[in-house]
Amino acid sequence: MLAWTIYLSFAGALVQALLPKSRAGLARWLALAVAVAGLTFAVAGFVAGMGQGRVVLADVPWVPSMGIHFLLAADGISRVLVLLTGLAAIAGVLFSWNIELRAHEFFAFYLALIGGVYGVFLSFDLFLLFVFYEIAIVPKYFLIAIWGSTQREYAAMKLAIYSFAGSAMVLIGLLAIYATAGSHSTGLIELSHAELPVSFQMWCFPLVFTGFAILAGMWPFHTWAPTGHVAAPTAASMLLAGVVMKLGAYGCLRVGIALFPRGLDPWGFSFAGLGSWRDVFAVLAVIGIVYGALVALAQTDFKFVIGYSSVSHMGFVLLGLITLNQIGVTGAVLQMFSHGILAGLLFAIVGRIVYERTHTRKLAELETMHLSKRMPFAAAAFVIAGLASMGMPGFSGFVAELQVLVGAWKVNPWWAITAGVGIVVGVAYTWRAMQKAFFSDALPSAHVLEEEHGHHFAAITWPEVTGVVMLAGVSLFVGLYPKILLDAIEPAVKALLAGGGQ
């Protein structure tokens, strides 16, 4: 059933591409219908998969000469991330309801991207996964370059080159695995049992892990993320931060960690306090957490604050993955879900609800606009999203980050302590942005403004309300009742850590 999410999205993209130019309204509704259907399948698949391990959805020989199968399957991790994709897809459509320029092309690229994302999360063949991973690159480029804002062509090309460089690294690694394993199957499960030589794992692991981690925004390869997020149209930033960065993290877990279990072993010597690739990547992840947060604190552009906060939050995902213990990895997967929802929500508020009405993202200009009084819905939504993003108990981010920190503490307390500093700075930058954008009482007063200019902001529309309520509701629900996702994630993580799944 889950496999239909992929087919449906690509079919939707094809139909959109063939729609006549003038029917923007039809394109929107069609896109929404496809996204809703996708989520329906995702939820149905999630419910049906409760309590089950890995379920094979489709298995057809694809390239027989190389043993590549069109192998779609889902375990708990996949099901959770597919669910996230379904939610993000709907929210993205809702927040691009105002797109008039080449609307059918926009949704064609959008749905192709979604289809690729679903595909990555459901692939259990190494090369099939890679194919879907690459399919997702090109639509991103066009979404940003055509419909974006600030420096869009630069940002789009930067993102495309970073992504393609990352996937080139991955491809080199995959070809090396293929040549070294010498087996006639490229299934992820079979390859994880292939007993690759340790020396091979030692050099191939960092290559593949870094390749995927570039897309996950790992410091110091994160620079595509803020510029890309800022330049992208709202729906694309929501998807970029919400699910595309997760593709990278998912690749790190499913390919990097699962196929090279020995790649994380100690080197046998230590250099500058680093004794294994695990230390190296953990340090990079922790730097990403703190650095992203500090840089977000200094931004003058509202959207850049959110852009850098993504780098910081994705650092938690990577840190969680690299702990390699049950709780840390579970936390990382939950953090992927949580950040996917919350980053989407934040970008929607900043890029769409606020920007479409104020036409500025400069915090200094927003300060003079008294948005809390003139746009109470946006202010309230941002407060909720901001609290959730800071890690307020009761929201999904808290459960996830707590688990990551506990997992990290078990391995090396210093990682957890430093990452904790990141959380504190996270509170500071969210607070600062919230205060400046919504609650500043700089002159002139709201009352004066409205009287002088006779200027009222356009009313909040139903797609905006629906989107905000949906995303905030999901975050709250998961925060209050994380068991619903954890029950799916934990067994899958356990199996994966025990030896690549069953």
Q: List residues binding another protein (CB under 8 A).
A: 17, 61-66, 105, 127, 130-131, 134-135, 137-138, 141-142, 145-146, 153, 156-157, 160-161, 164-165, 167-168, 171-172, 175-176, 178-180
Residue closer to another protein by CB (options 214, 489) is: 214
Three-class SS of residue 222?
coil
Q: Least separation, in Å, of the C-beta of 6 and another protein?
A: 12
**What H or E segment, with its residue span, contains residue 266?**
strand 266-271
Residue closer to another protein by CB (options 106, 304) is: 106
In 3D space, the residue among 407, 471, 488, 399 whose CA is nearest the CA of residue 55 turns out to be: 488
Residue 314 to residues 37, 99, 238, 277, 391, Cα–Cα distance (Å): 29, 29, 14, 19, 14
Q: Least separation, in Å, of the C-beta of 180 and another protein?
A: 7
Query: Alpha-carbon distance 90 to 425, whole Å?
Result: 31
Kind of pairing between the strands at 266-271 and 274-276: antiparallel
**DSSP single-letter state for residue 442:** P
Residue closer to another protein by CB (options 167, 210) is: 167
Residue closer to another protein by CB (options 169, 342) is: 169
Q: Least separation, in Å, of the C-beta of 151 and another protein?
A: 13
Q: Least separation, in Å, of the C-beta of 178 and another protein?
A: 6
**Cα–Cα–Cα angle for 94, 398, 317, nearest 5°?**
80
Q: Least separation, in Å, of the C-beta of 145 and another protein?
A: 4
Residue closer to another protein by CB (options 14, 484) is: 14
**What residues does 187 pair with on adjacent strands?**
125
Q: Least separation, in Å, of the C-beta of 65 and another protein?
A: 6
Residue 228 to residues 97, 157, 397, Cα–Cα distance (Å): 21, 9, 23
Q: Least separation, in Å, of the C-beta of 1 and another protein?
A: 22
Residue closer to another protein by CB (options 42, 160) is: 160
Residue closer to another protein by CB (options 153, 487) is: 153
Q: Long-range pairs for 129-135 at CB < 8 Å and ≥24 separation?
A: 129/188, 129/251, 129/254, 129/255, 130/167, 130/170, 130/171, 130/174, 133/167, 133/170, 133/247, 133/251, 134/167
